[in-house]
Amino acid sequence: MNAIQHTVESLRHTFRPDQVWPFLAPENAKVNVDKDIILYVEGLNLSFDGFKALNNLNLYINDGELRCLIGANGAGKTTLMDVITGKTQCDSGSVFFGQNQNLLNKDEAEIAQLGIGRKFQKPTVFEEQTVFDNLELSLKTDKGVLATLFSRLTPTQIDRIDDVLKIIGLAKHRFMLAGALSHGQKQWLEIGMLLVSDPRLLLIDEPVAGMTPDETERTAELLTSLAGDRTVIVVEHDMEFVRSIARTVTVLHQGSVLAEGTMDQIQSNKDVIEVYLGEQEEGATS
Amino acid sequence: MRHFIALCCCLFGLLSSQAYSAESSTSTSPSANQPPAELAPLMLELTKAKYSKLLPVLKKIEANSDESMLPLFRTMMNGNLYFIKTNKQLVQLIEDANQKTYQGIFSQQLVADLSKRDVSKIKVNNHLRSYLRNAIARIQLTSSSAEVRKNAVRELLSSLDEETVTTLERLYSSETNQTVKTEMGLALAINTARQASLPNSTRIAAIERLSGSLENTARNVLTQLTNQDNPAIKAAAEHALKKITQRVERFGFLNQLFFGLSLGSVLLLASIGLAITFGVMGVINMAHGEMIMLGAYTTYVVQLMMPNYIDYSIWVAIPAAFLVSGIVGVLIERLVIRHLHGRPLETLLATFGISLILQQLVRTIFSPLNRQVSTPSWMSGSWEINPVFSLTLNRLYILAFSLLVFFALVMVLKKTSLGLNVRAVSQNRNMAKAMGVKTNWIDAMTFGLGSGIAGIAGVALSQLTNVGPNLGQDYIINSFMVVVFGGVGNLLGTLVAAFSLGIATKFLEPMTGAVLSTILVLVFIILFIQKRPKGLFPQKGRAAE
Amino acid sequence: MSVITQYFSEGRTSGKHTMPFVIILLAVTAMACLSNLYLPADSALHVSTYSITLLGKYLCYAMLALAVDIIWGYCGILSLGHGAFFALGGYAMGMYLMRQIGDRGAYGNPDLPDFMVFLGWKELPWFWHGMDQFWFAMIMAVLIPGLLAFVFGWLAFRSRVTGVYLSIMTQALTYALLLAFFRNEMGFGGNNGLTDFKDIVGFSLQSDTTRVSLFAITALMLAVVFVISHNILSSRFGKVILAVRDSESRARFIGYRTDRYKIWLFVFSAVIAGIAGALYVPQVGIINPGEFSPINSIEMVIWVAVGGRGTLIGAVIGALLVNYAKTRFTAILPEAWLFALGGLFVLVTLYLPKGIVGLYTQLLEKRRTQSVKESEA
């Protein structure tokens, strides 16, 4: 009797109308940021052939923050981004998006669908397709095979793409092949692709490389305006640029965090002066 | 590393000495020109005696003869013994393609102007023939060469009659050579084991003795004994058989291992060239198989040009094949691949086109039929370790040769400036260019080197299989598998992969058949690549991205 | 079909070449069929049944080229194993045709095909059951290649095997199948394959009408496959596929599970190849393991390269041209064909990376810019 009751109960539970089955539930439905921290990176280690690219790295990013990562070449900035976005597997440690999404057991696509967007150091766009198509592909939509096979653009989506085209200043070039754009334009297009995908967390690797001072200023504006709704992590060598946007700066050195704080605090930090700002001239020009 | 090369050299030396001794043993001992005088009446009797009376005559001849009688017995056994009717001289019939000539048995000189009518044949029947065979062996037992004595005992093993046994018993005590003595002991043991009249303990001791032998005859005798009624003998024989079977199985395993290693060596030769071009230039050379084929045809042409020096032709063929294939490789690189830099898939297609052209070219020049390349005498034959385990010399040489080529290549890459440049280009092409390495030149040289080694592989392959226009095709897919399995740009990986694939294929073969084992290995690699896309020994680090 | 077309093409820019191509293809087919059936044999316009069969064969090749182009031209995956899917489709059809022979075979066995009787087999292997039903055989003709492609793709694309590695793997795949099908024990007729077919769904394969109908069906299928492929490739799915070709990792970073896209495209392509194989077999009357040989698969690639990859029309043109050339060449100078084919590989990759269609558009562009310049002047 009890067994039957138990079975019925579990069946009822299984067929609860207000819930979908766990295996049908979208895994990435919600990112829990109750504690106001969107990214937890703890005890991250990674070595390439004995070279420790990441060495027990701990980093916490608040929700809605704009964080700058600086550090000399080989400090582990890009590697950190690789691990967060699933490009590289780490040896040990944990990376959580919000409190509930373990990023280490997900692949690039799943991580991207969670709302983590990335812009690469070297602009990569789909060169054989038009600017518009590039943006269409980046739209925040269902990215399953069947969905893309039958989907078409809704007016809202077209408007969204138009808006972004205006923001990135490529409205006139919308039907141009992306491969025909200049280096700076490709940078913008890539930023546009990030914007249109409406991410929670943006990882931006050297956004202003190859941009004119004017464009750099615009980028700075854009990034600061994005922070708040979204969380932005910027890796940049250009100290002027960092100073103009940063509220909190994290200094990486040899795969771990050396210092964290405002730009002024960082600049007066003894360790930093020793290992990084001493080489500032070199860093700024690279 | 150096030790290994020394080892290789030793192996080479060992092999060639082995080959040499094998060669010397086969040459016949010089025979005397005339029959000893005391045998003359017997000879005469031979021509007169009737068919059925021949046996006693022969026995008499055997009783007081030595090796000088061997030609007579041999000729007689083959049914070529005649005598001249007029003077009763014994002659040997020599049949050429179109004529028959006669030769004095002892003088070895041609007797002129003999027609069929002048001679008459000394006929032999089966009974006589088997007697003669044993008689020959018995005579050889007294030979001065240990090798001949040993072979004679072997020959006698399967047909031990009383006479033989007595001869053996007589000679056993005076035999000085240990191997021959062991063989003789074995023969005697076989005899003892079979004698039902002897006491059990003696027979069992003899059976014990047999259990250490791998001779087929010993096994046959033991199998016969297991069917006997005598329980003690039966048990002993069964035990001995089991022991032998175990040993045979162990050697069967070694045999398979050897064939696996042999296949592995062929794969290694075929794929290291590919590993270099693929590893350094990231280029798949579909015409690689045709480079192998060119090498094989070069061997063929070299042999055509020096038909009287086949034994030395291989030493000419190896550098020639290296040059021919290498030059063709450099041409391909300069004319085609250079223009397709950074487009690996297109390179694959273009080189495939080249492979079609080369195949057709060879077909037009040499005909589409297979060509036979002869093996130098020092490479033919086999190294017989025991009756169930022998290694064919050509495979053994090729195994050693492949290792030699491999280590030579490793040395070239490690120790020479070309090697340094090649490694630099393979690790970071742009950086190497910036440092002043002439990448164009390095590419051409690398491609030439890879193709040249394929040419050498062709020389080796020509010793194992027929040389035809499709020779390369048969190996190319397997070589790709080896390179992919071992990990691109990793010569050690190629070595390990080649041998493990070769051995795996050969060990699967008895279970599944040749075709299925090939399929299974292919499927295994396809699955393996899914798990480890970078092969057994992947390149690590940021450079690998 | 029209529903599908309509559905797919709704709200999209329809391909410039699609409709003209379909119209020309069907018109030529209709004309050839009619002239074969209704014009007297001595008429100048009469198309012989031999030519009809030959054309049918070419169209099968064109469909196969389409399959290769979809995966190579659009997604950058160079498959050197499409011959395997083609042959598998062909074998499915061959098995059906074999079962249709019934007791008319040399041994007169109503259940077993001749080669099984010859091998002394007593009963039909399990995988031959049901193949006497046309519908079942046709399902198998698309299902088996599709399934193989799915399994292979699932293994290969998920572990991110790409580039030349993948090409070599596909080649090994078809090579392994070649070896397997050569074995008598496999139950597919071994070396000789399946042949001596008598009729298909009750119509004699020797009759002109059957041959013309087969040709017409092939043309129709080609048109359908062409339109469907075009629509799939111009959907957002197609854009993702192009994105994968240009930069797969980027596509992954914007959230596409590129492995799944590649798997399904590969399956689609394999299914087309299977259909082409199934249509090919009744027209040539034989299927043997030779179809699996790696050289066949690589030849298909060159058809696409000649025509112009990345354009569906290019694949079709390439297949027709190269095969026509092959027929002519092997008739006149059989020796020279391999030289010509080899040369074609080299020349096309070196000088015509975009194929004939690419050359044509290039010339067109040049003329346009010239005329613009002239008008400006």
Strand partners, C150: none
Establish if A193 touches chain C: CB-CB under 8 angstroms: yes
Four-CA torsion B528, B529, B530, B533, nearest 10 degrees: 130
Chain C neighbors (3+ CB pairs < 8 Å):
A, B
Contact B476, B286 (CB under 8 A): yes
Question: In this predicted structure, what is the pLDDT of residue C271?
Answer: 96
Residues from chain B contacting residue C339 (CB–CB below 8 Å): 356-357, 360-361
Establish if A88 touches chain C: CB-CB under 8 angstroms: no
Q: Do B353 and C183 touch (CB under 8 A)?
A: no
Closest CA to C304 of C268, C334, C345, C249: C345
> Is a pLDDT exceeding 50 seen at residue B23?
no
> Is a pLDDT exceeding 60 seen at residue A197?
yes
Give mean pLDDT, residues C192-211. 88
Q: For residues B234 and B243, give the distance between their C-alpha atoms in angstroms, rounded to a whole number.
A: 14
Residue ranges of C 219-238 with Cβ closer than 8 A to chain A? 232, 235-237
Strand partners, C199: C204
> Measured in whole angstroms, how far is the alpha carbon of residue C96 from the centre of its chain?
19
Four-CA torsion B330, B331, B335, B338, nearest 10 degrees: -10
Q: Do A51 and B540 touch (CB under 8 A)?
A: no
Establish if A87 touches chain C: CB-CB under 8 angstroms: yes
Helix axes B393-415, B439-462, angle to 10 degrees: 170
Q: Do A108 and C253 touch (CB under 8 A)?
A: yes
> Is a pLDDT exceeding 60 seen at residue C4?
no
Establish if A130 touches chain C: CB-CB under 8 angstroms: no
Q: For residues A76 and A57, give the distance between their C-alpha atoms in angstroms, rounded to a whole number.
A: 9
Q: Do B529 and C173 touch (CB under 8 A)?
A: no
Contact A138, C254 (CB under 8 A): yes
Question: In this predicted structure, what is the pLDDT of residue C377?
Answer: 61
How close, in Å, is residue B531 to chain C by CA atoms? 7
From the number of C-beta atoms within 10 Å of its C-beta (0-12, 13-18, 19+), residue B99 rates as exposed
How close, in Å, is residue C68 to chain B by CA atoms? 14
Question: In this predicted structure, what is the pLDDT of residue A64?
Answer: 85
Question: In this predicted structure, what is the pLDDT of residue B8?
Answer: 47
Establish if B541 touches chain A: CB-CB under 8 angstroms: yes
Question: In this predicted structure, what is the pLDDT of residue B428?
Answer: 78
Is residue A206 helix, strand or coil? coil
Q: Do A109 and C255 touch (CB under 8 A)?
A: yes
Contact B425, B260 (CB under 8 A): no
- Half-sphere exposure (Cβ direction) of B401: Cα atoms closer than 13 Å: 25
pLDDT mean across residues, chain B: 78
**What is the residue-wise DSSP string for B413-424?**
HHHSHHHHHHHH
**What percentage of chain A has pLDDT greater than the value 70?**
90
Q: For residues C375 and C377, give the distance between their C-alpha atoms in angstroms, rounded to a whole number.
A: 5
What band does A207 get if pLDDT is binned at 50, 70 and 90? Answer: confident
Four-CA torsion A158, A162, A167, A168, nearest 10 degrees: 90
Question: In this predicted structure, what is the pLDDT of residue B146?
Answer: 73
> Is a pLDDT exceeding 80 seen at residue C66?
yes
SS3 content of chain B, % helix, strand, coil (to 5): 70, 5, 20
Question: In this predicted structure, what is the pLDDT of residue A9?
Answer: 81
Distances (CA, A) of C103 to A78, C96, C110: 72, 14, 4
Chain A neighbors (3+ CB pairs < 8 Å):
B, C
**What is the residue-wise DSSP string for B331-371?**
HHHHHTGGGGTT-HHHHHHHHHHHHHHHHHHHHHHH-SS-B
A to C CB pairs, distance under 8 Å: 84
User: Higher pLDDT residue, B536 or C222?
Assistant: C222
Pull the structure tokens for residue B518. 């090939």
Establish if A143 touches chain C: CB-CB under 8 angstroms: yes
Q: For residues C197 and C61, give the distance between their C-alpha atoms in angstroms, rounded to a whole number.
A: 21
Domains of chain A: 2-285 (3.40.50.300)
Q: Which helix (H) or strand (E) holds C287?
A: strand C286-287
How close, in Å, is residue C224 to chain A by CA atoms? 18
Lowest pLDDT segment from B317-326, C195-204, C278-287, C318-327: C195-204
Establish if C249 touches chain A: CB-CB under 8 angstroms: yes
Question: In this predicted structure, what is the pLDDT of residue A25?
Answer: 56
**What percentage of chain C has pLDDT greater than the value 70?**
95
B250-371+388-544: CATH topology is ABC transporter involved in vitamin B12 uptake, BtuC (1.10.3470)
Pull the structure tokens for residue A5. 């009751």
Residues of C at the B interface (Cβ-Cβ below 8 Å)?
76, 78, 152, 155-156, 158-161, 163-165, 167-169, 171-173, 175-176, 179-180, 182-183, 294, 298, 301-302, 305, 335, 338-339, 341-346, 348-350, 353
Q: Do B477 and C169 touch (CB under 8 A)?
A: no
Specify the pairing of strand C194-195 against strand C199-200: unpaired
Q: For residues C377 and C373, give the distance between their C-alpha atoms in angstroms, rounded to a whole number.
A: 6
* Partner-chain residue, chosen from A112, A127, A145, that has the shortest CB–CB distance to C253: A112
**What percentage of chain B has pLDDT greater than the value 90?**
14
* Partner-chain residue, chosen from C242, C253, C258, that has the shortest CB–CB distance to A85: C253
Give mean pLDDT, residues B222-246. 77
Contact B229, B464 (CB under 8 A): no
> Is a pLDDT exceeding 60 seen at residue B155?
yes
Residues from chain B contacting residue C169 (CB–CB below 8 Å): 484, 526, 529
Residues from chain B contacting residue C345 (CB–CB below 8 Å): 349-350, 352-354, 356
Question: In this predicted structure, what is the pLDDT of residue B16?
Answer: 45
Question: In this predicted structure, what is the pLDDT of residue B35?
Answer: 59
Q: For residues B53 and B122, give the distance between their C-alpha atoms in angstroms, rounded to a whole number.
A: 12
Pull the structure tokens for residue B384. 């017989």
Establish if A136 touches chain C: CB-CB under 8 angstroms: yes
Task: Return all residues near A44 (Cβ < 8 A) that are at least 6 apart.
Answer: A54, A56, A57, A58, A80, A83, A90, A92, A93, A94, A95
Q: For residues B367 and B325, give the distance between their C-alpha atoms in angstroms, rounded to a whole number.
A: 20
> Which stretch, A173-177, A275-279, B465-469, C61-65, has highest mean pLDDT?
C61-65
Question: In this predicted structure, what is the pLDDT of residue B22?
Answer: 40
> Which stretch, A193-202, B423-432, C16-25, has highest mean pLDDT?
A193-202
Residues from chain C contacting residue B529 (CB–CB below 8 Å): 156, 159, 161, 165, 169
Test mutation, B532, B542, B545, chain A, max A CBs within 10 A:
B542
How close, in Å, is residue A124 to chain C by CA atoms? 7
Q: Count of residues for chain B?
A: 545
Question: In this predicted structure, what is the pLDDT of residue A105?
Answer: 84
Q: Do C346 and B355 touch (CB under 8 A)?
A: no
Distances (CA, A) of B162 to B156, B167, B188, B444: 12, 9, 11, 74
Question: In this predicted structure, what is the pLDDT of residue B323?
Answer: 95
Establish if C118 touches chain A: CB-CB under 8 angstroms: no
pTM value is 0.79
Helices (H), B195-287: 200-210, 216-226, 231-281
Task: Return all residues near B339 (Cβ < 8 A) that are at least 6 apart.
Answer: C350
What band does B541 get if pLDDT is binned at 50, 70 and 90? Answer: very low
For chain B, give every domain's residue range. 41-127, 143-229, 250-371+388-544
Strand segments, DSSP code E, in chain A are: 37-48, 51-62, 66-70, 92-97, 101-102, 116-119, 201-205, 231-235, 248-253, 256-261
Q: What is the ipTM of this complex?
A: 0.84
- Edge to edge, what strands does the sheet with B81-84 contain? B110-111, B100-104, B90-95, B81-84, B119-121
Residues from chain B contacting residue A48 (CB–CB below 8 Å): 540-542
> Is a pLDDT exceeding 50 seen at residue B448?
yes
Contact A236, A263 (CB under 8 A): no
Pull the structure tokens for residue B219. 């096994």
Question: In this predicted structure, what is the pLDDT of residue B477?
Answer: 81
What band does B199 get if pLDDT is binned at 50, 70 and 90? Answer: confident
* Chain C CA closest to residue B365: C335
Question: In this predicted structure, what is the pLDDT of residue C282?
Answer: 93
Reported as a single tens digit per residue, the pLDDT across B206-223 is 777 777 777 777 777 777
Is residue B234 helix, strand or coil? helix
Test mutation, C148, C152, C160, C175, chain B, max B CBs within 10 A:
C175
Is residue C44 helix, strand or coil? coil
Establish if A128 touches chain B: CB-CB under 8 angstroms: no
DSSP category for residue C72: H
Question: In this predicted structure, what is the pLDDT of residue C89?
Answer: 95
Reported as a single tens digit per residue, the pLDDT across B297-344 is 999 999 988 888 888 888 899 999 999 999 999 999 999 988 888 788
Helix axes C336-351, B344-366, angle to 10 degrees: 160
Reported as a single tens digit per residue, the pLDDT across C68-125 is 999 999 999 999 999 999 999 999 999 999 988 888 888 888 888 888 888 888 888 8
> Measured in whole angstroms, how far is the alpha carbon of residue C206 from the centre of its chain?
23
DSSP category for residue B98: S
> Is a pLDDT exceeding 70 seen at residue C307?
yes
pLDDT mean across residues, chain C: 87
Strand partners, A54: A46
Give mean pLDDT, residues B108-126. 75
Reported as a single tens digit per residue, the pLDDT across B159-168 is 677 777 777 7
Q: For residues A111 and A118, give the distance between their C-alpha atoms in angstroms, rounded to a whole number.
A: 10
Q: For residues A28 and A34, give the distance between their C-alpha atoms in angstroms, rounded to a whole number.
A: 16
Return the residue matching tokens 């280096």. A183
Pull the structure tokens for residue A28. 């990435």
